[in-house]
Structure formats: structure tokens, C-alpha cells
Structure 1
Amino acid sequence: MRRILVFVMALSLSAMFSGCGSNTDTSEKITSNVQDTQKEDKKDTSQEKTEQVENKSEEKDEKNEQVVEDANKEDSGDHEAQDQILKIYYISDSEEIECAEIRTNLLQTTDIWNGLIGEGVLGGEYKMNSCNVDQEQKTIDLDVDSGTGSYIRSMGTTGEQQILTCITKSFLKTYGCERLKITENGQTLETGHTVLEGYMTADE
């Protein structure tokens, strides 16, 4: 009888230990699965954050590039080169003063002087020393060399007036200014018939 009881107790203890071992394995497996899932979730979240940072960085770079591009456009003298019109006044074969319009992308004072030479108002050997345009005051200060002064002085009254009119109107009309002063090597220009002191208008 005792042997039977001992045998039964031994079987019971064996079953209990076996159950505990099985429960322990199952618990360990569950814990391992939970940890793997948490690792995957963290990995996915980390990847999403990285992608968001990269997208924000790309957007910032694009904005910076656009700002630089816009700034370059603003600093550029051309501003995509809007057409402007040179108005060159010249003396026609019938001795009338007429206007030739020339389109240009970049307006420069030398273009007007060269236009006057091209239309025969001035000779190619005559030079413009400087030309300062004040858009606020609507004035232009033009300084010419002694060759231009001598050429104007060599003309008669009518010829002198025509040349001065062509020069004055060409600069004023092209730049939309109101008054122009002509000097000779920085000094007052004296023609054979008048002293050009102060500013002249396009109607004089």
C-alpha cells in the first residue's frame, strides 16, 4: 500500500514539474515575440522619422535654391532683358529732323552716341567722354571731347542748331528725361554762336 502511495505521489510531482516547464517555455516564447514586435515597431517609427527629416531637408533645399534664383534675377542688370527703344534723331536729305527707333535689350548711353554717328549726325572720330543720367531729377549731363566741340563750332547757325537738337532730343527722348547739359572736356561748351550754360530741353 505504501508503495502504491509513493508511486502515485511520484507521478503527481513529475506531472507538476512537467507542467511548470511547459508554462515557462510558453511564457518565454510570448515574451520573445512581444520584444520582437516592439523592436520592429521602433524600427518602423525610426524609418518614418528619418524619411520625414529627409523630406523636410529636400523641401528646405528647394526653397533655398528658389530664393537664390530670385535674388540673382533681382541683382541682374538685364531682368530678363525687356525690350527698350533707342530714339535717334537725325537730319534727313530734305534737311528735316526725323527720328529712327532702334530696339535693344540692354540700354547704354554709348548706344545713343553710336546711333548719332551711324545716322551721320556726328563723325566716327568724335568721342563722348561721359554721360550721367539722373532719373529722379530727369536730367542728363553729357560731356564731349574737343573734336566734337570743334565740329559744332565749324557749322553755320542752322547746322549748329540741328546738330544740338539731334543730340539733345536723342538722349532726352530715349531716357524719358526733361533737361540735358552739354559740356566740352568738363568746361562750358561755347559754339560759334552761343554759350551753352545750364540745361537745355528737347524743344530748344
Structure 2
Amino acid sequence: MKHRKSCIAILLCAVMIFGTAGCSNTQDTDAKTQTESKEEQKDTEQEKKENPDKEVKKEDPQTDKKENAETKEETGTQDGEKEAVKSDADVQESQEESVPVQTGQAFIYVPDENAEGWDVNQVEIPQVSADALIGQLVGAGVLTDSITVQNFEETEEEGQYVLKLDLSSNFKDSIRSMGTAGEILTIGAVVNSFLDTYQAEAIQITVDGSTLETGHEVYEGFMTHMDYQ
């Protein structure tokens, strides 16, 4: 019985000793932790005092992702605008290259020096028109400069591509002042110049909307390409 009590006493002493040691270790650990924390706080305060303008910036992954996305979007927009400007410039350059100069070829018949036929002159004019052809004939000395075009039509008659030319009344006056050869050569110069230039099959010439009549001939209806005989 005494031996049992002694064992119990020994065990109680051991428990007390280990408990005291554990508390001591815990207290030492807590004291050490508190000391380290105080030292870190002290270092931080010291650093703030030494560098008052320095701020610790925390990185935000979400903010970085957003900024990167906005940068990529802005870069893509700029690249798209550059491509659009380049595309517009290419289209404009292509259009400028594809637009031809509006010129045309005209065939002007001029009575030769011996009054035996016509010399044919091929010329470049800004635009093929009845006024331009009459102007060329006036410039070549075939017609007087007072003759003008009253009306001009390109049409189709009985399946043929034909022309209708109406001139001012002084054209008739000029023709009537000529002899037979001069009349034929002048009328032929007008007829052939228009037919060759427009590649038409026939032409009708009127004066102030009426049939052309001279002292030698009545030019009624359509005339085809003329030859001097």
C-alpha cells in the first residue's frame, strides 16, 4: 500500500515537472515571437522615417490583366485604322490608274489641192462630238467659222446605226456660193468625216430642221460614204 502511494506521488511530481516545462517553452516561444514582431515593426517604422516618400505598391493581378487587355485592344484599333487608311489609299491609287484620258480619234476629210478628192487627217480630240468635228473642219478650212451645230442625234433606222446632223442656215448659204465640184467636195467632207469618226453607216444633214437644197442638188434622206467621181 505504501509502495502504491509512493508511485502515485512520483507520477504527480513528473506531471507537474513536465507541465511546468511545457508552459515555460510556450512562454519562451510567445516571448520570442513578440520580440521578432516588435523588431520587424521597429524596422518598418525606421524605413518609413528614412524614406517617407516610398510607398509599397501591391500588385493586383486583376488590374494587370485589365490593363493588358486595354493595351491590346488599343493597339488592335490603331492597326485596324492604319490598315483602313492603307486600303483607302490603295483603292484611290487603283482608281486613278484605271481612269483613262478621255480623248478620241477623229478622221477629218479635206479637199485636196487639185480638187480631185480628199486628204484624210487622223487627229486626237479631247472628246468626240459633233461640235468638235465641225470645229476641226472649220480649222482645216473646209467650213466657215460661222457654221454651228443646231442638233445632233445618234439613232437606229431599219437596223442601221445612223446619224442626224442639223446645221445653221449659213451652211446652206456657203454651199450655194460654190460650184458643183466645190459643193460635192464640201458635202462629202462633212459626210465622210462624221461616218468614219462615229463608225456609222449613214447620215442625214439638214439646215435649221429642213431639207438641204442647193442650186445643184436636194439632199433629202440619208447619205452613205461619198466618193468623188
Q: TM-score, normalised by structure 2?
A: 0.67
- Please say if 1:94 is aligned against 2:114: yes
1:39 Cα deviation after fit: 2.9
Instruction: Provide, for residues 65-115 of structure 1, a one-character-per-residue CA deviation record: whole Å limited to 9, x for no partner.
Output: 5556767888xxxx4315532211011111121111222343333221111
Instruction: Spell out, residue by residue over 1:127-168, the C-alpha distance to the aligned partner (whole angstroms, 9 max, x if none).
Output: 222323459963222111111012223333322221111001
Counterpart-to-counterpart distance in 2, 1:20 and 1:195:
128
Q: Which has the larger radius of gyration?
A: 2
Q: Which moved more, 1:189-198 or 1:165-174?
A: 189-198
The answer as to whether partners of 1:90 and 1:98 remain within 8 angstroms in 2 is yes
Change (3 A) 1:20 1:141: farther
In percent, how many aligned pairs have the same letter?
A: 24
Measure, in 2, the Cα distance between the counterparts of 1:67 and 1:103. 30
| Cross-structure match for 1:8 | 25
> Within 1, Cα distance between the matches of 2:83 and 2:199?
45
Structure 2: tracts of 5 or more residues without a match: 1-16, 41-57
Q: Tell me how far apart the structure 1 counterparts of residues 128 and 222 of structure 2 sit (CA, whole Å).
A: 23
Residue 103 (structure 1) aligned with residue 118 (structure 2): no
Q: Is the 8 A contact 1:81 1:106 kept in 2?
A: no
Code of the aligned partner of 2:172: G
2:216 aligned to 178, 193, 203, which one?
193
Corresponding residue of 2:175: 152
> What are structure 1's unaligned runs of at least 5 residues?
23-31
1:55 corresponds to which letter in structure 2? D
Asked whether the 8 Å contact 2:131–2:148 carries over to 1, the reply is no
Structure 2 counterpart of 1:25: none
Q: Which amino acid aligns with 1:122?
A: L
Q: Is the 8 A contact 1:188 1:197 kept in 2?
A: yes
Q: How many residues align?
A: 190
5 Å-filtered alignment, 1:1-204, equals 6-15=23-32, 32-33=58-59, 35=60, 37-64=61-88, 67=91, 79-81=99-101, 83-95=103-115, 96-134=117-155, 138-203=161-226
Q: Distance in 1 between matches of 2:101 and 2:146?
A: 31
Q: Deviations over 1:3-28 (max 9, x none)?
A: 76644321223456789999xxxxxx
The whole-number CA distance in structure 1 between the counterparts of 2:214 and 2:62 is 98
Moved more, 122-131 or 11-20: 11-20
Counterpart of 1:110, as a letter, is D
Change (3 A) 1:53 1:87: same
Q: Is the 8 A contact 1:144 1:184 kept in 2?
A: yes
Q: CA separation of 1:18/1:104 partners in 2, compared to 1, >3 Å: closer, same or farther?
A: farther
Report SS of the residue matched to 1:189.
strand
In structure 2, C-alpha distance between the alignment counterparts of 1:127 and 1:49, rounded to whole Å: 67
